[in-house]
Amino acid sequence: MTTTLFGRGKSSPGRVTARDAALRTGHATGRGGDALLLDVREPHEWRAGHAPGAVHMPLAALAAGAGLPAGARDRRPVIVICRSGNRSRRAAGLLLARGVEAVDVIGGMRAWAACGLPVVDAHGGDGTVA
């Protein structure tokens, strides 16, 4: 079993806290991070509020076999987030099966917002977790 940057084996996706995700993506430091934040919620959830700089791709599209969006294809590792952590766990497993180093955020966007991390709406204003 090969160890990944997240310290887990490649046979199952690892999990990180919202704070750890923010550190890896640069949200907690204000500088660019080494990981991509991929939000797999539905479009209406994304529009209501998401992490700035995150890439959006609904789980349904990922499950249907769609590849990562163009801006995300060459960025690794991938930290997957949803509302509470259920969909992101599934998405991380799908990505891992495709050879993408991926983990999911425990507690999802709810945990992200609870940590006081930034959430913006579709227009760049203050967002909410829907």
List the domain range (segments joined by +) for residue 32: 14-114
Digit-by-digit pLDDT tens for the chain (130 residues) are: 333 445 445 567 899 999 999 999 998 888 878 899 999 999 999 999 999 999 999 999 999 999 888 777 777 799 999 999 999 999 999 999 999 999 999 999 999 999 999 999 999 999 999 9
In a domain, 40, yes or no: yes
In a domain, 119, yes or no: no
* Alpha carbon separation from 63 to 15, 51, 129 (Å, rounded): 19, 22, 23
Bond prior to 77 in cis (omega within 30° of 0): yes
**Catalytic residue among 51, 79, 82, 113, which?**
82
Cα 102 from chain centroid (whole Å) = 9
Q: For residue 110, give the CATH number of its domain.
A: 3.40.250.10
Whether residue 82 lies in the annotated active site? yes
| Structural domain count, the chain | 1
